[in-house]
Amino acid sequence: MKHLIIVFSLIFSFDVIADPVRTKNDWDLLDSIEKRQLNNIKIKENKLYFKNDLTFKLSNSRYDIYLIKNNSELAVYNLDQKILYLINVKNKNIKKIKWKYGSLQAIFKDCNKVTKWLSGKIEPNYYLTKWESAERPKNFKCNYFIFGGRCGLSVNGYNQAIFKDNLDYEGDLISIAYLKDGNKCNFYNKLKVNY
């Protein structure tokens, strides 16, 4: 009986959204992270320069570029080929990741003001992707949304997935507005190239 009381206490101590859940397709809230330029980054003739050093050659594809990890790493996402390049800006080492998790939309800088997350904390450098639930393999579908509500009973599907920096699936959001309201979470700025 003691264990049952503890479980119910934990459940009711969080704000849980009742079923059915209506998700929001509010990706436009991320528009503020798109910039025309990022400090120390220049694009010239499809070449990416960091602090005036040639760092990466771009193709004619569309790219989103982020300066992450205290300005020690570039994340270069090729939208057309769905490849993420992680570039160490000091030694120019490049890690190439075939992106099979929908479309990368943002990278978390911090989420210090999130207090109601049932499963933990959104850490720096986690990825926010746009990936329709109907298009995912079973192991990338959620049971419960991060802030409550059953994923299987969502009225219009869901498409706001979060992945850890090691690409383990963390869960899905009902709405980006929850992260943006009151600046609960901040995202790295994004430079768009060849759009």
Give the tens place of pLDDT for each residue, 165-195: 999 999 999 999 988 776 689 999 999 999 8
Q: Same domain for 138 and 178? A: yes
d(CA 87, CA 152): 38
Q: What pLDDT is stored for residue 20 in this prediction?
A: 81
Q: Is the pLDDT of residue 8 over 80?
A: no
- DSSP string of 51-65, one letter each residue: TTEEEEE--SS-EEE
Name the residue range of residue 109's domain.
15-32+102-189
Structure tokens at 52: 């005036």
Q: Is residue 2 part of a domain?
A: no
Q: Which of 34, 39, 95 is nearest to 71 (CA)?
A: 39
Q: Same domain for 66 and 87? A: yes
Q: Is residue 10 part of a domain?
A: no
Residue where a domain stops, chosen among 75, 98, 121: 98
Q: Same domain for 144 and 180? A: yes
Q: What pLDDT is stored for residue 116 in this prediction?
A: 57
Q: Which residue has the higher pLDDT, 33 or 19?
A: 33
Residue 112 pLDDT class (50, 70, 90 cuts): confident
Q: What are phi and psi of 52, to 5 degrees?
A: 65, 5
Q: Is residue 194 part of a domain?
A: no
Q: What is the mean pLDDT of residues 91-100?
A: 97
Q: What pLDDT is stored for residue 115 in this prediction?
A: 62
- DSSP string of 19-46, one letter each residue: SSB-----GGGGGGGEES--TTEEEETT
Q: Same domain for 121 and 28? A: yes
Q: Same domain for 137 and 170? A: yes
Q: Which residue has the higher pLDDT, 148 or 72?
A: 72
Strand 53-57 and strand 73-78: the pairing is unpaired
Q: Same domain for 52 and 22? A: no
End-to-end CA distance of the chain: 60
Residues 6+ apart with CB under 8 A from 187: 30, 33, 106, 107, 108, 109, 128
Q: Mean pLDDT score of the chain, rounded to an integer?
A: 87
Residue where a domain stops, chosen among 98, 120, 149: 98
Q: Which of 134, 117, 125 is nearest to 173 (CA)?
A: 117
Q: What pLDDT is stored for residue 147 in this prediction?
A: 80
Q: Is the pLDDT of residue 89 over 50?
A: yes
Q: What is the mean pLDDT of residues 75-83?
A: 98
Residue where a domain stops, chosen among 54, 74, 98: 98
CB 84 within 8 A of CB 76: yes
Type and span of the H or E element at 5: helix 2-12
134: how many CB neighbours lie within 10 A of its CB? Answer: 9
Q: What pLDDT is stored for residue 11 in this prediction?
A: 44
pTM (2 d.p.): 0.86
Q: How many CA atoms lie within 13 A of 126 on its CB side?
A: 20
Q: Is residue 114 part of a domain?
A: yes
Span 117-139, pLDDT tens digits: 555 678 999 999 999 999 999 99
